[in-house]
Structure formats: structure tokens, C-alpha cells
DNA sequence: CTGAAAGCGCTAACAT
DNA sequence: ATGTTAGCGCTTTCAG
């Protein structure tokens, strides 16, 4: 029937106690006798009472909601993170609410943050690419943890993967396989993590005495389509690379498609190594060799930091970095004979397209 | 400085009017003189006032938030829909809050719905595959619109694409290209839309006098990986299909990978047509021929229906269906000579794997 | 056109 | 261990 949602007052009345007592019992606070508590809980569950989190919040208390703000939803990168955050939050008895800030309407940072704050205790920010955001965040008076973007000002705790170290692993893997002309397909330099990957690439090369070839460093925008184009250019170089390390998995997919388009087989004629290890990496054909970000751990660390801050344990501004792990699959292999490669490229170039 | 967020009371005081007047002005209600209104708005904007939506909601008013509940975030299907909904909502001056119900914790339908209701005026449900959900939704006393799943009980307004018609388009396209052995790679029958696609496939065949070959109907789970396996089986049939129509794009990607694995070229030796036209479809290589769902339109229709209901225009339970559109790209082509195909398959089979 | 009072559901801060 | 009071920020009555 159309009976309204049960409220705390209902529970209290039915249990024959005051609202306050009911509240205490429900929240597991001290100051309630076992008996009373059990009774209250029983009644609450009986009538299907669900605490009203907006009221909770309005009254000044924390309401166990953590807000996630993300620029996009369509990257597996963010979905993985969100998934992990949700799990971690629920494990702690919290819920998660997601707010997307699509690129178009970066207009009202302020409003959005204001809104999020009204609804939640803390905010998990998944790196919008511009730092304007960071400014707005600074004004929001609530705990914030930023993922994968250490603000230049170090204003917020952040959690990220060891991008530099991961890149090192990837490139050294390629070097071990015998590659000497290794290209880097980056993603612009608006994202700090991506810049770190490039640094790792450069240093790995240097460390192994490999020449620094500027023409082998190209930059896309982390999208598959752009990566396809950029990789195509790389492949058509007079002296093309035998391997490409890309700044993310999506780019790797694009690079692989480009290699195929050029008549090269992966990994026989061209090795490709990505970064992220999104679920697709394993499903792709060929399965992608890539650097794994421990999304679940990162998310859960972020959530816990947030929760600690909410609880008052001021963990000051800290940055947590997780180790990256190289996952070797089928897109990387030993260098093929130069003859074969050249032949393949020649053949592919002639017909044109 | 650490001054708290401005509240309605602040605006009112500064403007020298009562809270009520300020409220009316801010909400664009009648009963306020132009002058007063302008003054209030000016002040509000000056001090950066942002209405507190939780308070708004608590006081019984609608707060302009529409909640979206989705089982997954990692399918481009849902991201597209969410994106579209966000746009439509913002166009109407509303905001959108997303709640994910990961498969694991389908436990507390009730709580989740309760929570969503507290935060928002209406609910857009991108449905989890089981209908238990529908039951819970029925109890939630707030406007609901369901996307792509017309509940068996027709309890909610729904918007979906013409799955049946879309499938017809896809299969007829294949038939026009000369294919006669066309397989269907489905996705189980828990989703009504997917079942409709299968019906479309069957009917298209029948309509063109093509034999109904049960062995050419296989079912996956809409994931790329499963599709790879299922498609592999299809390809290894004694009399394999020359084309595969898949229930969604992800499955098409898997099928293409399987074809390649078997030594077949797409589209030369095997045509593949998907369904959805997620952004990846265009970026994939080969670009995928697929049936487009007008995500943006669907989402915006859903949002508008929701908004209308909130506004009180009870549009009763209606179902909106959008036409599907065939997008021909590079993964479908005319049938190749059987000789070539057989040769390719023979060759691929011998080495084994 | 404007304002005062009361309350949404809950929780701190004081009582008892 | 339990109850009372007051108030979070806003809005709906109902009065001027």
C-alpha cells in the first residue's frame, strides 16, 4: 500500500523509545542497553526502515557516502577505478555516488563541487586533465583524494601507480627481446602520469646505452583512433621502429591495428606494449603485453584514506604510489629479421591505400 | 577564508528580504517584484550561493536531480546512455547522479532504491539482467523509466531501440551481399532486446527463403572473450557460415578476432555485423558494420519522460521505440569463393593450436 | 507582493 | 541508559 517510507520516528514509536535512543541503536553508538538495541534493530528491520542520508547529512553528521567525480565514464580506466572504489566503500559500510563532469560543461566547477559536497562526506577525484579543477577542489571543504594526478601544488593526497617504474619495466622487456629501435607513443603532456611514463621510456633507453631517437617519440591523445594514425606515421618512417611502447592500452590497440594495416604481423614484425592492463587487454587479439595498474588496490587505498580523513584521523597530505607490474602476453616478441620486415613493408606500401 | 557556504538565509539577510522571498526569487516563482528578484539574484551570485539540494529534497520539494542506476559502467553501452542522459538533464537544468549496482551486491535492492530516492526526483534504470530488480523498482515511489528492457509486466515506461527491425536490417544487408549461411551469435535470453534481435535474424532468413540452420545459432554472454570462443566453434563447423551477425558490438569484436585466428580475413573470407554502434565500432580495425542505436536520443527521451512525470504530467505507462539504423563499414562484404575460404581454413587447421 | 510559522528526518548537545 | 531541545537549509502552508 501507499504507506510512506518508515522514518526514525516510526521506529522509535514502535519500539517505545525516544528517537535519540533509536538513532543511537541504529548507529551502533554506545549508551544503549543490549535489549533496547536489539529491539530497535528488530523493529527497524521489520518495517524496512532505511536511514535517510540526506537528512543525516543535513543535520551535520557524516552520511557514509563518498562521491566520485570523473571526467569520463567510457574509459575502462575509470570504470575499473570506480568499481574498485565501490567495493572498498561497501566493505566499509559506505555507498558511492558518481558524478560525471563531461568535458563540455567544465563551466561550473563550483556548482558541481558544491553539489557533491552536499551529498557526500568525501570526494574521490579521477583526474580531469586540467588543473583548473584542482583549484576548485581546493575550495571544497571536504576530504579529497586525487587519483593518478599529483597536483603540482601537492594540495591533495593522491594515489597513483609508479608510472615511471612501469615504463622502465616495459621498455626493458622490449630491450631484452632484442629491440633497439623502440618508439614511444605518448598522450600529450597534460597528464602527469603520462609524462612519467615517457620519462621512464627515455631513461630505460639511456640506461641501456640505446641512442635517443627523437623521431621515435610521438604523441597522441590516448585514444585508439589517434594512436592508429600516429603509429602509422611511425611505421612509415624511413627507419621504422621494431617495437612501440604506448602510453595506454587503448593506444596500443590502435598501434596494433596500424601495424596490421601496414602488413606487419604482431608480434612477429612489430612488438607493442601498452600500459594500464584494462580488461580488454587480455581479451584483445593478440592479447596485449602491458603494464598493470593495480586498480582495485589504488581505489581501495584512496577510499580508505578518504574514510580516515572523514573519521578525523588527519593523515596530512600524503601520496601513495603502487608498484606497476609487467604482464607479458602475445603482443611482444623477439625482433624479426630486418629482411622480412622490409619486405612486408615494401609490399604493403606499393599497393597504396 | 573558512567561511561556510552561503545559505539562503545569508542571501535573504543581505538582500534585506525574508527567506521566503529570496527562495521565490531564486526559484523563479511568481509573487516577487522584478526589482526584488533582480536584487536577490545579484546578491546570490555575488556571494556564490548554491542551493542545497539535500535540504530542498528533505523539505519535500523536487530537487532537480535524476538518479541513474546501472549494473555496469564498463560497457560503452551504458556510458553512452549515461552521457546522453547527462546532457539532456543539464539542458533541462537538472543534474544527474549515478549509482552503480555491481553484480556482486544485488543483495540489497531495497536499500539502494531507498537511497536513490532520497537523493533524486526520478530514476533512470539501465537494467541489470534479472527482473528481480523490476520488483524492487515497483516499490520505489518515484518516477522510473527503464531503458532497453520492457519489463514483462509493462510496469514502467521504457525506451528502447527497434531491436527486431535492426536485426532485420543487418541480416538483409548480409543476404544482399550474397551470404546464405549466416550465423547468429546471441547473448543468452535474459535480455529482451537481445531476444528480439534473434527473432529478427530468424525472420529475415525465413523471409528470404533461406534455410533455418539451428547449428548456426549460438549464444554467448555479450562479452568479447566468450564471443571469441563461440565464434571459433562456429567457424570450425563442417559447413561454416560465411557471415556472423552478433547480438552486440563487443561480440562482433570477438568474432572478428576468432576469424583472424582461424586464418580468415574479414571481410574477404568472413563478414561480421554487430549491433549497438558503440564508439569503438568505428575505431576498430576493420571498422565494424553494425546496427546503430540512437543512444543520445534514447537517453534524452527517457530523461524527458522522467521530467514530465516529475512535473506531474502523468504520461501513463508508455513505451518509446526508436528506429535502428544500419551503418555499413568494413567488416562486411560479398561472399568470397568457397575455394579460397576452404583453403584458408584447411591451412589454419593443420598447424593446430 | 511579502513575511512568519512550522516541519521534512535526523543528530549533536544537554539534560535526567 | 534514556529523553528533551534545538537546529541543519529549505519549502510549504497560511497571513498580512
Give residue-wise pLDDT tens across range A214-269. 999 999 999 888 999 999 999 999 999 999 999 999 999 999 989 988 889 899 99
Residue pLDDT, tens place only, B70-83? 888 878 888 999 99
Q: How confident is the model at residue A285 (pLDDT cuts 50, 70, 90)?
A: confident
What positions of strand C are covered by protein, i.e. any atom < 7 Å from a CB? 1-5, 7-13
CA distances from A336 to A46, A177, A178, A265, A311 (A): 70, 10, 9, 10, 57
**A46 interfaces chain B, CB cutoff of 8 Å:** no
C-alpha distances in Å from residue B244, one per residue of B181, B193, B264, B341, B345: 9, 18, 13, 15, 16
Secondary structure class of A318 (helix, strand, coil):
coil
Which pLDDT does position B311 carry in this prediction? 87
Average pLDDT over residues A57-85: 89
Residue A76 is nearest to which of B74, B90, B96, comparing CB atoms?
Answer: B74
Average predicted confidence (pLDDT) for chain B: 87
pTM recorded for the entire structure: 0.88
Residue B352 — very low, low, confident or very high, per pLDDT cuts 50/70/90? Answer: very low
B7, B46, B51, B52, best to mutate vs chain A, most A CBs in 10 Å: B52
CB contacts of B76 in chain A (<8 Å) are: 74
Per the DSSP assignment, residues forming a β-bridge with B99 are B69
Indicate the length of chain B as a whole number: 353
**Using CB atoms within 10 A of its CB, is residue B197 exposed (0-12), middle (13-18) or buried (19+)?**
buried
Q: Does the pLDDT of residue A78 top 70, yes or no?
A: yes
Q: For chain B, say whether A280 makes contact (Cβ under 8 Å).
A: yes
Cell (9 digits) for A141: 571543504
Task: For residue B113, give the C-alpha cell.
Answer: 532504491
- For A126-135, A172-181, B235-244, B315-324, which range has the lowest pLDDT when averaged over its residues? A126-135
- Asked if A179 and A338 count as a contact pair (C-beta separation under 8 A), the reply is no
More confident of the two residues A79 and A152: A79
Nucleotide nearest to B36 (CA to C1'): C1
Residues of B numbered 26-45 whose beta carbons fall under 8 angstroms of chain A's beta carbons: which are they?
A: none
What SS3 class is residue A251? helix
Q: How far apart are CA A306 and CA A89, in angstroms?
A: 10
- Determine the distance between B57 (CA) and C7 (C1') in angstroms: 13
Can you give the pLDDT at residue B131?
59
Residue B2 contacts by C-beta under 8 Å, 6 or more apart in sequence? A141
End-to-end CA distance of chain A: 68
Closest nucleotide C1' to the C-alpha of A27: C11
A35 Cβ within 7 A of any nucleic strand D atom: yes
Q: Is B3 on the interface with A (CB under 8 A)?
A: no
Nine cell digits for residue B330:
568494413
**DSSP for A95-151?**
EEEEEE--GGGGGGHHHHHHHHHHH-SEEEEE--SSTHHHHHHHHS-S-EEEES---
Q: Distance, in angstroms, between A227 CA and closest chain B CA?
A: 10
Q: How far apart are CA B300 and CA B175, in angstroms?
A: 34
What local confidence, expressed as pLDDT, does residue B191 receive?
Answer: 81
Please check whether residue B272 touches A, CB under 8 A.
no
A314 vs A298: CA distance, rounded Å: 19
Nucleotides of D under 7 A from a protein CB: 1-5, 7-13
- If you search the block for the grid coordinates 575460404, which residue do you land on? B341
Q: Which of A269-273, A343-347, B112-116, B200-204 has the lowest mean pLDDT?
A: A343-347
Q: Work out the number of other CB atoms within 10 angstroms of the CB of residue A350.
A: 7
* Percentage of chain B lying above the pLDDT 90 cut: 56
All three cell numbers of B339: 575455394
3-state helix, strand, coil in chain A (%, to 5): 50, 15, 35
Q: Has residue A110 got a pLDDT over 80?
A: no
- Beta strands B144-147 and B122-126, pairing class: parallel
Q: What is d(CA A52, CA A23) in angstroms, rounded to the nearest whole number?
A: 12
- In this predicted structure, what is the pLDDT of residue B288? 97
Distance CA A246, CA A167 (A): 9
Decide if B55 and A55 are in contact by the 8 Å CB cutoff.
no
- Kindly determine whether residue B228 and residue A283, on different chains, have CB atoms separated by under 8 Å: yes
Strands (E), chain A: 65-70, 95-100, 122-126, 144-147, 158-161, 182-186, 217-219, 243-246, 271-276, 289-292, 319-322, 325-327
Backbone angles phi, psi at B128, to 5 degrees: -65, 165
From chain B, the residues in CB contact with A59 under 8 A are none
Which residues neighbour A232 within 8 Å (Cβ) at sequence distance 6 or greater? A258, A261, A262
The helix/strand/coil state of A11 is helix
A272: pLDDT strictly greater than 90: yes
The owner of cell 633507453 is A205
> What is the C-alpha to C-alpha distance for residues A128 and A99, in angstroms, rounded to an integer?
12
Q: Provide the terminal-to-terminal Cα distance of chain B, rounded to the nearest Å.
A: 68
Q: How many Å lie between the alpha carbon of A22 and the closest alpha carbon of chain B?
A: 19
Q: Quick one: angle between helices A76-91 and A295-310, nearest 10?
A: 50
Q: Does A251 touch chain B (CB under 8 A)?
A: no
Q: Report the alpha-carbon angle B145-B274-B322, nearest 5.
A: 35
Nearest CB neighbour to B100, from listed A98, A141, A285:
A98
Q: Which of A2, A90, A283 has its CB closest to that of B225?
A: A283
Per-residue confidence at B102, pLDDT binned at 50, 70, 90? low
Predicted pLDDT at B167: 98
pLDDT band at B84 (very low <50, low <70, confident <90, very high): very high
Dump pLDDT digits (tens) for B37-47.
Answer: 999 999 999 99
Amino acid at each position: 500500500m501507499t504507506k510512506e517510507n518508515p522514518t526514525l520516528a516510526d521506529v522509535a514509536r514502535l519500539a517505545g523509545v525516544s528517537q535519540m535512543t533509536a538513532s543511537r541503536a541504529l548507529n551502533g553508538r554506545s549508551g544503549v542497553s543490549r535489549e533496547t538495541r536489539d529491539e530497535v534493530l528488530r523493529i527497524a528491520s521489520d518495517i524496512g526502515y532505511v536511514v535517510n542520508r540526506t537528512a543525516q547529512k543535513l543535520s551535520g553528521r557524516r552520511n557514509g557516502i563518498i562521491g566520485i567525480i570523473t571526467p569520463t565514464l567510457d574509459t575502462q580506466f575509470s570504470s575499473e577505478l570506480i568499481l574498485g572504489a565501490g567495493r572498498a566503500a561497501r566493505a566499509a559500510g559506505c555507498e558511492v555516488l558518481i558524478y560525471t563532469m563531461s568535458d563540455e560543461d567544465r563551466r561550473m566547477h563550483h556548482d558541481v563541487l558544491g553539489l557533491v559536497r552536499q551529498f557526500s562526506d568525501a570526494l574521490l577525484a579521477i583526474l580531469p586533465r586540467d588543473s583548473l579543477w584542482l583549484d576548485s577542489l581546493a575550495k571544497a571543504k571536504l576530504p579529497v583524494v586525487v587519483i593518478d594526478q599529483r597536483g603540482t601544488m601537492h594540495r591533495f593526497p593522491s594515489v597513483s601507480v609508479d608510472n615511471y617504474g612501469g615504463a622502465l619495466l616495459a621498455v626493458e622487456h622490449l630491450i631484452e627481446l632484442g629491440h633497439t629501435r623502440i618508439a614511444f607513443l605518448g598522450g600529450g603532456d597534460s597528464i602527469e602520469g603520462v609524462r612519467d611514463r615517457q620519462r621512464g621510456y627515455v631513461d630505460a633507453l639511456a640506461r641501456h646505452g640505446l641512442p635517443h631517437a627523437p623521431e621515435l617519440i610521438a604523441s597522441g591523445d590516448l585514444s585508439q583512433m589517434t594512436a592508429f594514425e600516429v603509429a602509422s606515421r611511425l611505421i612509415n618512417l624511413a627507419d621504422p621502429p621494431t617495437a612501440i611502447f604506448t602510453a595506454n592500452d587503448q593506444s596500443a590497440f590502435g598501434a596494433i591495428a596500424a601495424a596490421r594495416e601496414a602488413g606487419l604481423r604482431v608480434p612477429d614484425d612489430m612488438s607493442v606494449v601498452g600500459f594500464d592492463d584494462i580488461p580488454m587487454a587480455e581479451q584483445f587479439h593478440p592479447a596485449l603485453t602491458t603494464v598493470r595498474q593495480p586498480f582495485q588496490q589504488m581505489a581501495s587505498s584512496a577510499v580508505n584514506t578518504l574514510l580516515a580523513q572523514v573519521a578525523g584521523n588527519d593523515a596530512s597530505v600524503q601520496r601513495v604510489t603502487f608498484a606497476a607490474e609487467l604482464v607479458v602476453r602475445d603482443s611482444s616478441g623477439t625482433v624479426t629479421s630486418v629482411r622480412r620486415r622490409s619486405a612486408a613493408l615494401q609490399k604493403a606500401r606499393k599497393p597504396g591505400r
